[in-house]
Amino acid sequence: MRERIVVVAAVVERQGEFLVARRLEGTHLAGYWEFPGGKVLPGETHEQALTREIVEELNTGIAALQKIFSTSHAYPERIVDLHFYRGELTAAPHPALGQELRWITRAEFASLEFPQADAELIARLVNDQGDQRDQRDQQGQ
């Protein structure tokens, strides 16, 4: 039976660009790009896990978490339950693990290789074209 893991990831958008990180060599899906985050440990809420992972990976905090999408994906070696949260970093990110970080536009998603589990969320983000951001701006947020 395949291992089932629960993972949380942060969708951080700044001025129309999204923060992505490249998976390190020696990890599952090494070299692929992903939204920062990681495994939920026993006893942690999604929010606690994502806060811990952002500190560990990016040397910063995250605030204003809002769940935007969940999915499950079966890889040959494991099943991943993936929960995506929009959030705002509390300071500039600095890669704590030596991973490559990039801010990318919606158009750049197509030029980078992401895990299959991220495909539906990325399609939604690319097709969104900032509609939610425009609505927040109109509300004075």
So what's the pLDDT on residue 50? 98
Rounded CA-CA distance 32/79 in Å is: 17
Please give the radius of gyration of the chain, using alpha carbons only, rounded to the nearest integer.
15
Which residues lie closer than 8 Å to 32 by C-beta, 6 or more apart?
A: 22, 23, 113, 114, 115
Higher-pLDDT residue of 136, 121: 121
Task: Specify whether the CB–CB gap between 79 and 73 falls below 8 A.
Answer: yes
Query: Residue 29 pLDDT more than 90?
Result: no
Domain boundaries, the chain: 3-138
Q: Which CATH class, in words, describes the domain spanning 3-138?
A: alpha beta
Q: pTM of this prediction?
A: 0.88
